[in-house]
Amino acid sequence: MDTLRIRGGRPLVGSIPIAGAKNSVLALLPATLLAEASCTIENVPAIRDVKVLVDLLRRLGAEVAMEGTTLRVDTARVVNRPMIDSGVRSLRASAYLMGALLGRFGEAVVGLPGGCNLGSRPIDQHLKGFESLGATISQRAGAIHLKAARLRGTRIYLDVVSVGATINIMLAAVLAEGVTVIENAATEPEIVDVATFLNGMGARIQGAGTDVIRIRGRSPLNACRHAIIPDRMEAGTYMIAAAATGGEVRVDHVIPLHLEPVSAKLREMGVFVTEGDESVTVKGTDPLLPVDIKTQPYPGFPTDLQSPFTALLTQAKGTSLIIENIYEERLKHVLELNRMGARIRTDGRMALIEGGTPLYGMRVRAMDPRAGAALVVAGLIAEGETAITDIHQIDRSYERIDQKLRQLGADVWRE
Ligand code: EPZ
């Protein structure tokens, strides 16, 4: 059951509910470790990475109960221990265990994080932040050892705008003595969501969503209840698929502002995009106009939607240019798209997409969630049947993608 089959050529029509944001919940789960309490997290997406992270929390002694899309995490009986097994290496978000365990216990041993292979993904800015807070750090046998007799608030300037480093430093700083100021912080909506959760636990964080975040340490933190923001990447992917198939799709339970970068680019292509209070409707047009994409930190065009957007651009009437500014190697999906008939040339971080190219069903492989999403969009466009293997990669980040696509009229099934 690790292959998704798609018979392309059908316009997507209808509406679907969008789940909670993966890149928020994967930080909120480790954040629960910062209090000896029972936190309730609502609107949790049914994705594989959540299951992996819940297992890691259970290994630490947390009691986790799932009812529908609500998770209850009781961390009263958590005992610190080295976290170096396979689950840690399977996702990038396990790095958040460093900040959370360091904040709660003053010590952490965490295996080097894994996750999508998008080139080198150092954690130097995370470690720079922890050292600035007073931790001593060593790396042995593929694990990071962090220790701090006490964590003291300080001023930290991030050399790189990093979502993970911004969040990880927040996790370590909320229980530190004194005030921590993170400068050149990332401003993604998921960071605001994590700050809202931590403030719900009693933390005092100001400025999340701007590039200067101020954290006044406070101890202890308490239980809280929080509903996760909608997943702008899931929503954006279905908006792109609607445009690619010439259909009409409404994505529900979204925050339209968070989707502005994608909506703006789709409008540039001639696509009709209308916004409700908590929904966005996309209606495909013909012809689609070519556009250039430069990925940037929020509120720029998100790197996580670059791959599916590449598949859409193969259908524009003209040549488009994509420049991937966030990751060294995030154009691996191009190889598989070209096997399906696309004509894309790459050079380093640049991809030149010749439009108007018919795509044909083919057996292809999902290398990571967003590259897999690009192949899904291509399969929905292609003539004939596409078989996407390693679909577990897509299931890491997309909730029940086959069911949601079938709900929109796609001819898609798992086998
Ligand atoms: C988060 O990854 C997301 N993952 C990614 O989504 C997303 O692409 C990325 O943010 C950018 O928005 C999760 O939230 C679990 P970064 P993260 O630190 O935190 C460099 C998806 O498909 N960097 O903002 O790892 C780094 O190499 C995933 O949902 C350093 O140099 O991303 C990259 O080039 C993929 N040193 C850039 O910064 C550091 O210490 C941005 O990385 C940290 C990062």
Mutate to test the pocket of ligand 1, among 162, 326, 333 (most ligand atoms within 8 A of CB): 162
- Residue 120, pLDDT score: 80
pLDDT tens for 281-300 read: 999 999 999 999 999 999 99
* Peptide bond between residue 220 and the one before it cis (omega within 30 degrees of 0): yes
Q: How confident is the model at residue 141 (pLDDT cuts 50, 70, 90)?
A: confident
* DSSP run (H or E) holding 264: helix 260-268
**Rounded Cα–Cα distance for residues 249 and 325 (Å):** 30
- Residue 263, pLDDT score: 98
HSE-up (13 A, CA, CB side) for residue 156: 34
Is-contact 244 377, C-beta < 8 A? yes
| Centre of ligand 1 from the C-alpha of residue 117, in Å | 11
| Centre of ligand 1 from the C-alpha of residue 116, in Å | 10
Closest CA to 327 of 160, 190, 209: 160
Complete edge-to-edge strand list for the sheet that includes strand 293-294: 293-294, 319-323, 350-354, 343-347
- Residue 143, pLDDT score: 94
- Residue 114, pLDDT score: 78
Name the residue with the closest Cα to ligand 1, atom 7.
304
Indicate the burial class of 331 (C-beta count within 10 angstroms; 0-12, 13-18, 19 or more).
buried
109's tokens = 């041993």
Mutate to test the pocket of ligand 1, among 156, 166, 326, 349 (most ligand atoms within 8 A of CB): 326
11's tokens = 């316009």
pLDDT tens for 7-66 read: 999 999 999 999 999 999 999 999 999 999 999 999 999 999 999 999 999 999 999 999
Strands 63-67 and 70-74: antiparallel
| Centre of ligand 1 from the C-alpha of residue 43, in Å | 23
Residues 6+ apart with CB under 8 A from 338: 344
For range 76-85, the mean pLDDT: 95
pLDDT tens for 199-254 read: 999 999 999 999 999 999 999 999 999 999 999 999 999 999 999 999 999 999 99
| Centre of ligand 1 from the C-alpha of residue 377, in Å | 23
Q: Which residues belong to the active site? A: 116
Mutate to test the pocket of ligand 1, among 26, 121, 190, 399 (most ligand atoms within 8 A of CB): 121
CA 233 to ligand 1: nearest atom: 29
Is-contact 214 203, C-beta < 8 A? no
Is-contact 69 230, C-beta < 8 A? no
| Centre of ligand 1 from the C-alpha of residue 206, in Å | 22
Name the residue with the closest Cα to ligand 1, atom 18.
162
Q: How confident is the model at residue 117 (pLDDT cuts 50, 70, 90)?
A: confident
Residue 272 has pLDDT above 80, yes or no: yes
Is-contact 298 337, C-beta < 8 A? no
Residue 118 has pLDDT above 90, yes or no: no
Name the residue with the closest Cα to ligand 1, atom 6.
304
CA 167 to ligand 1: nearest atom: 19
Q: How confident is the model at residue 116 (pLDDT cuts 50, 70, 90)?
A: confident
Residue 411 has pLDDT above 80, yes or no: yes
Is-contact 405 237, C-beta < 8 A? no
- Residue 22, pLDDT score: 98
DSSP-based three-state secondary structure for 276: coil
> Residues with beta carbon inside 6 Å of ligand 1?
22-23, 26, 92-93, 116, 121-126, 160, 162-165, 186, 233, 303-304, 326-327, 369-370, 397
Q: How confident is the model at residue 348 (pLDDT cuts 50, 70, 90)?
A: very high
Closest CA to 238 of 192, 284, 269: 284
CA 121 to ligand 1: nearest atom: 27
Residue 1 has pLDDT above 80, yes or no: no
Domains contained in the chain, CATH given: 4-19+230-414 (3.65.10.10), 22-226 (3.65.10.10)
| Centre of ligand 1 from the C-alpha of residue 336, in Å | 24
- Residue 85, pLDDT score: 82
**Rounded Cα–Cα distance for residues 138 and 151 (Å):** 17
**Rounded Cα–Cα distance for residues 236 and 255 (Å):** 11
CA 163 to ligand 1: nearest atom: 24
For range 158-176, the mean pLDDT: 98
Residue 317 has pLDDT above 80, yes or no: yes
**Rounded Cα–Cα distance for residues 279 and 271 (Å):** 16
Q: What is the largest CA-CA distance in the chain?
A: 63
Q: Where are the alpha helices (DSSP H) in 314-411?
A: 333-339, 369-381, 392-395, 401-407
Residue 86 has pLDDT above 90, yes or no: no
Q: What is the mean pLDDT of the chain?
A: 97
105's tokens = 């216990």
**Rounded Cα–Cα distance for residues 298 and 311 (Å):** 22
Q: How confident is the model at residue 109 (pLDDT cuts 50, 70, 90)?
A: very high
Name the residue with the closest Cα to ligand 1, atom 11.
163
In order, the DSSP letters of 149-195 are SS-B--EEE-SS--HHHHHHHHHHHTTSBSEEEEES----HHHHHHH
In order, the DSSP letters of 89-158 are HT-GGGGHHHHHHHHHHSEEEEEPP----SS----HHHHHHHHHTT-EEEEETTEEEEE-SS-B--EEE-
- Residue 352, pLDDT score: 98
pLDDT tens for 367-378 read: 999 999 999 999
Residue 119 has pLDDT above 90, yes or no: no
Query: What are φ and ψ of residue 256, in 5° steps?
Result: -50, -35
- Residue 224, pLDDT score: 96
| Centre of ligand 1 from the C-alpha of residue 15, in Å | 30
CA 26 to ligand 1: nearest atom: 15
Residue 381 has pLDDT above 90, yes or no: yes
Closest CA to 59 of 35, 93, 40, 86: 86
